[in-house]
Amino acid sequence: MAMTEYDQKVYDSGYKYIPRSEFLLSPFKIPVPETKDSSSGIPSLIPRNSGGSGALQAGNINYNDFARAGFDAYANRQPTPLVDDLYQSKLDKTFMGFPSYQTGQLTGADMGEYIGSGTDIPLELTTAGKLQNIAGNITGGIQNLANKAGGFGPISAILSKMDRFNTLPELDQQFIKQSMGYKGPTVFGENTGGNYVDPFGVNVRSALGNYAEKVKDDYSSLEKSLTGRLSEKYGVQFNPETGMFENPDDIEAAEKANKMTNMMRQKYIFRQQQLKQQAFNETIAEKKAKEIERIKNLGKRGYDPAVHGETNYGQGSDGQQSYSGDSIGAGNLGFGVGATTGGPVSNRTGRGRTDYMDGGLASIL
């Protein structure tokens, strides 16, 4: 499918891993030199070092920048088998901080032959690499490896504490992966640990936590405080759409409330946008599931000319309604096509003919 004019403009601007607009909750906005949008009260600055302390200020926090970094990194992390199998890629691979591969243990003569011919020295898996392969081949990853290693005493104890990420709900895992792109400073100062964090210092990817749930909990707590206790304290009303306090009858009170809760409100706005992304992920997942189910059920329904074509060739050996050639762009074949087998189906007997893979004449298996 061709890109829209705007999506092409985004791509040409250097943002090559941003999903197309049709897959985003709201269109991606190409950054412009403008530093602040004062009309909405919501800052539009890229998170960066601010001040001598290195800590982010409220005006430096913007969800779109955080999300863009996460989506770029998420796209870059998608499987790339041809690259992963490269010699240097293997040498760069690690597991728990240890190299996954090492050069083979060769004698001096053999080593000299490889070097002299300019051939890469064969690589072999290290102990860490072997553990990595085992974990990757077990459904559930490290957590299930820990369960299977239950009889190994200290080993199982270590493994069970390593990582529970694969046990989280699939959509939570997706959201966390989409958020793993920012390693910059936080409201507490420089990110000396180098982990993926959000601007508020929360680790996005942790072994035992669930960042998706943390976002929901934060939002609920902030909403309760902003709409309740703090609104009463300053004699104002909190507008969840703008993220600001209001009081038409007492402008000064509203200004004071907004000033005193600046960081809290920015965090509320940030978490609100994250919840919208989670809801968007859920919507896409539901649509995908429904489409898969629809495709599965197409052949189960009775004959429908609009779906199965002009000629009713009956059901195939799979018990599902077959399709005539015109419905799949193949013209008049003189027989139907099985919904799941792809084999020929005829209604000469009124029951449907046996498909290729179930004993038909064309079967060679």
DSSP 312: -
Distance separating alpha carbons of residues 183 and 142, to the nearest angstrom:
25
Helical segments of the chain, H only: 5-12, 63-76, 81-84, 87-92, 108-117, 127-137, 142-148, 154-160, 170-178, 211-224, 230-234, 251-260, 262-298, 305-308
Taking CA atoms, 26 is separated from 64, 80, 172, 280, in Å, by 10, 28, 20, 10
Question: Token pair for residue 322?
Answer: 């077959």
Q: Which residue has the higher pLDDT, 61 or 144?
A: 61
Greater pLDDT, 47 or 337: 337
Q: Following DSSP, what letter does each residue of 170-195 receive, concatenated? A: HHHHHHHHHTTT--S-BTTB--TT--
Element (H, E) at 237: strand 237-239
Question: Is the per-residue pLDDT at 359 higher than 50?
Answer: no
Query: Torsions phi, psi of 262, nearest 5?
Result: -55, -55
pLDDT in tens, 298-353: 655 677 777 778 888 877 777 777 888 777 777 777 788 777 776 777 754 444 44
| pLDDT tens-place string over residues 89-117 | 777 777 666 788 887 777 666 766 666 66
Phi/psi region, residue 309 (left: phi>0; alpha: psi -120 to 50; beta: rest), is: left
